[in-house]
Amino acid sequence: MIYNKISYCFKTAFYNLRKHLLLSAVTATTIAITFIIFIFFLVVVINLSSFKNNWVDRLQVILYLENGADAAAIDETRTFITGLPEVDSVRFVSRDDALIMLKKSLEGQDGILQGLEENPLPASLEIKLKKEYLTPERVEIFVEKIKTIRPVEDIEYGQKWLERFTTIFTLLKIMGITFGGLLFLFAFFIISNTIRLLVYSRRDEIEIMKLVGATNRFIKLPFCIEAGIQGLVGSSCALLFVTFVVRVLMSEFIVPFQFYVGQSSFVFLTTTQSVFIIVLGLVLGLCGSLFSLNNLKELKN
Amino acid sequence: MIQLHQVHKFYDTSIPALEDINLKIRKGDFVFVTGPSGAGKTTLLELIFSAETPSKGEIIVNGVNITRIKSSAIPYIRRRIGVVFQDFKLIPTKTVYENVAFALEIIGVNRKIIKRKVWQVLKWVGLLQKKDAFPPCLSGGEQQRVAIARAIINNPILLLADEPTGNLDPALSLDIIKLFKAINARGTTILIATHDRQMAEKFSDKIIFLKHGKLTGLSI
């Protein structure tokens, strides 16, 4: 009996989707546009997050040492820094090593260094901090702690970058949540109004259904299925569209950009995230329809 | 079968649509409710059918006090009651077969059983040859037969008809009343609302007279 009822509801839902094809298409398109923007924000946030994590992982505090600092002083400084709780590892880079590294990075452009009579590079200590200390505030505290040590001449760390990144990242997250929330609200009301129109166009049929003893739940189910399908189609189309666009962009722009920046690789949605987006479309459709159906006088006893 | 105890019904106006109605209809009765327009005939049927709730009083249908049941239980009560209206209330985009089958589909009856029952009932009301026609292509009498077929396909214990012959000429009206008589002969209690007092008196000796929402006569 339940199978017959459900089969009837699905049959009715598909029949009505075909019958009101234009209205259904407009609703699904609205949902798709909402999801395209949502997925775009999501991909940007995911990539920024991945980029930030990658960058933070590589973050080092570099102490440039005074020229002529003796080995014992350097060793003492190194031992002191290694003993600090924030520090994961310390590497000493001598002046000669620094020059070799520079030469390596300028391979093919040897002319730049040809006029040099002596090595201008200072020796340095490259400090890698523990992961839990890699926040703008904690790095700042650490730097304050070591900047007066002798024979340190200068300290370099990505403080400004880190701060900028954190701000942009937080801003984008807030924008995404606000804008995404508003868009979802918009899609929710579009669905809810579509269902309202559908109920209105079938009010005679609904009246007859009630006369012959249909329960409200049974009357509502085909509408919910319709809205669910619209949501599902909308979110799936959006996902396909964004995947296509990303593939085109990847080949045209992102790969060269990545090469240029030399940072983390581009991250797209995982299978779980993709499934979540499709299910979200279904849920949005169902919630929009239920909101509308529960407030219609045609569906009260 | 039907009992009404001190039933009152007020809409927004101060004039009651029904006032202090007390009556009892026995199982298998063939009863007419008659009176002029605005007498409260339709309201009475709507109360029995749970389309409206009484402002005061109790209504018992087939042993169930329908004034005290939850609204979610109403559809299940309605499945045991057939209803026929003056304007037929058929779905114009569905065929005769689909209109009748509809009453079984919504309660989850198996497709094979639906087919068998719809054929039987359409044959009984004399419309089997028109099963694929759409309601707008049928005459008023034929449309009313489809509505009756839909109302009885579930073997209701009670059949309510609100002015079922109101849109029909005398010859067709007679056909429809004969159909109701045949349904009644199978054991279904029939309650027909009509403004045509003569027709009521001609076809039944059990009549409820209403005027301005009050019971003015009862011959049950």
Query: Before A151, cis peptide (omega within 30)?
Result: yes
Q: What's at A139, amino acid-wise?
A: V
pLDDT at B101 over 60: yes
Q: Which of B75, B77, B83 sits opposite A214 (nearest CB)?
A: B75
Whether A18 has its CB under 8 Å from any CB of chain B: the answer is no
Contact partners, residue B119, CB within 8 Å, separation at least 6? B128, B131
Residues in chain A within 8 Å Cβ distance of B71 = 301
Q: Do B75 and A211 touch (CB under 8 A)?
A: no
- What integer pLDDT is reported at residue B209 of this predicted model? 92
Which comes out higher in pLDDT, residue A259 or B111? B111
**Residue B27: pLDDT band by 50, 70, 90 thresholds?**
very high
Q: Is A114's Cβ below 8 Å from some Cβ in B? A: no
Instruction: Look at B102 and A5 and tell me if their CB atoms are within 8 Å.
Output: no
**Which residue in B has a C-alpha nearest to residue A4's C-alpha?**
B108
Give CA–CA dist B7/B23, Å, rounded: 9
Please indicate if any CB of chain A lies within 8 Å of the CB of B13.
no
- The burial of A220, by beta-carbon neighbours within 10 Å (0-12 exposed, 13-18 middle, 19 or more buried), is given as buried
* Chain B hits for A1, Cβ within 8 Å: 107-109
Report the residue of chain A nearest B52, measured CA to CA: A301
Q: Do B75 and A215 touch (CB under 8 A)?
A: yes
Give dist(CA B96, CA A225) in Å, integer: 27
Structural contact between residues A204 and B102, judged by C-beta atoms closer than 8 angstroms: no
CA distance B51 to chain A (A): 8
Q: Which residues contact A201 (CB under 8 A, 6 or more apart)?
A: A20
Per residue, what are the HEC states of chain B?
CEEEEEEEEECCCCCEEEEEEEEEECCCCEEEEECCCCCCHHHHHHHHCCCCCCCEEEEEECCEECCCCCHHHHHHHHCCEEEEECCCCCCCCCCHHHHHHHHHHCCCCCHHHHHHHHHHHHHHCCCHHHCCCCHHHCCHHHHHHHHHHHHHCCCCCEEEEECCCCCCCHHHHHHHHHHHHHHHHCCCEEEEEECCHHHHHHHCCCEEEEECCEEEEEEC
Task: Report chain B residues whose CB lies below 8 A from the CB of A3.
Answer: 108
What DSSP character marks residue A84? Answer: S
Count how many pairs of residues, chain A against chain B, have C-beta atoms within 8 Å. Answer: 59
Distance from CA of B121 to the nearest CA of A (A): 16
Coil vs helix vs strand at A38 = helix
* Backbone CA torsion sign across A144, A146, A148, A154: negative
When CB atoms are compared, the residue of B72, B74, B150 closest to A212 is B150
pLDDT tens-digit readout, B41-99? 999 999 999 988 999 999 999 889 999 888 888 999 999 999 998 888 999 989 999 99
Asked if A1 and B109 come within 8 Å (Cβ–Cβ), the reply is yes
Please state, rounded to an integer, the average pLDDT across all residues of chain B.
Answer: 90
Residue B207 · residue B200 · CB < 8 Å: yes
User: Which among A222, A218, A214 is positioned nearest to A195, based on CA atoms?
Assistant: A222
Q: Contact A207/B89, CB-based, under 8 Å?
A: yes
Maximum CA pair distance of chain B? 52
What token pair was written down for B170?
């005398």
Q: What is the largest CA-CA distance in chain A?
A: 101
Cβ of residue B83 closer than 8 Å to a chain A Cβ: yes
Are the C-beta atoms of A31 and A230 separated by less than 8 Å? yes
The verdict on a CB contact (< 8 Å) between A301 and B91 is: no
Residue A86, C-beta contacts closer than 8 angstroms, at least 6 positions apart: A129, A130, A133, A138, A142
**Cβ atoms A92, A74 nearer than 8 A:** yes
Mean pLDDT in order along chain A per 10 residues (301 residues) = 83 87 89 89 81 75 82 84 87 86 75 73 87 79 81 76 77 83 85 85 86 88 92 94 86 60 69 93 91 79 56
Best mutation site among A210, A212, A218 for testing chain B: the one with the most B CBs within 10 Å?
A: A212
Q: What are phi and psi of A35, to 5 degrees?
A: -70, -35
Radius of gyration over every alpha carbon of chain B, rounded to an integer in angstroms: 17
A29 touches chain B (CB under 8 A): no
- For B108, which of A1, A204, A209 is closest by C-beta distance? A1
Q: Tokens 């730049």, residue?
A: A112
How close A16 comes to chain B (CA, Å)?
A: 12
The residues, ordered by sequence, that sit 6+ positions from A48 with a Cβ below 8 Å of its Cβ are: A165, A168, A169, A172
SS3 call for A155: strand
Q: Identify the closest residue of chain B to A208 by CA–CA distance.
A: B89
Let me know: does B149 contact B121? Beta carbons within 8 Å.
yes
Query: Looking at the DSSP assignment, which residues form a beta bridge with residue B4?
Result: B23, B59
Q: State how far the Cα of A296 lies from the Cα of A10, in Å rounded to an integer.
A: 22
Distance from CA of A19 to the nearest CA of B (A): 11
Q: What dihedral angle (degrees, nearest 10) is formed by the CA atoms of A63, A69, A72, A73?
A: -50
Beta bridge partners of A91: A126
Cα separation of B80 and A145, whole Å? 86
Q: Which residues of B touch A215 (CB under 8 A)?
A: 72, 75
What gap in Å lies between CA B103 and CA B108, rounded to an integer?
9
Distances (CA, A) of B60 to B5, B48, B77: 9, 8, 11
Are A4 and B105 inside 8 Å of each other by CB?
yes
Interval B185-208: pLDDT, tens: 999 999 999 998 888 888 888 999
Chain A interface test: which of B78, B94, B107 (most A C-beta within 10 Å): B107
Q: Which chain A residue lies closest to B104 (C-alpha atoms)?
A: A212
| ipTM of the modeled complex | 0.83
Q: Decide if A5 touches B, using CB distance below 8 A.
A: yes
β-strand partners of B34: B194, B209
Please tell me the predicted confidence (pLDDT) of residue A137: 78
- Rounded to a whole number of angstroms, the distance from the CA of B64 to the nearest CA of chain A is 16
Output the pTM of the full model: 0.73
**Pairing mode, strands A152-156 and B2-10:** unpaired
Closest CB to B106: pick one of A204, A207, A213.
A213
Whole-number pLDDT of residue B44: 93
- Asked if B185 is an interface residue toward chain A (Cβ–Cβ < 8 A), one would say no
Q: Left (φ > 0), alpha (ψ -120 to 50) or beta: where does A68 sit?
A: left
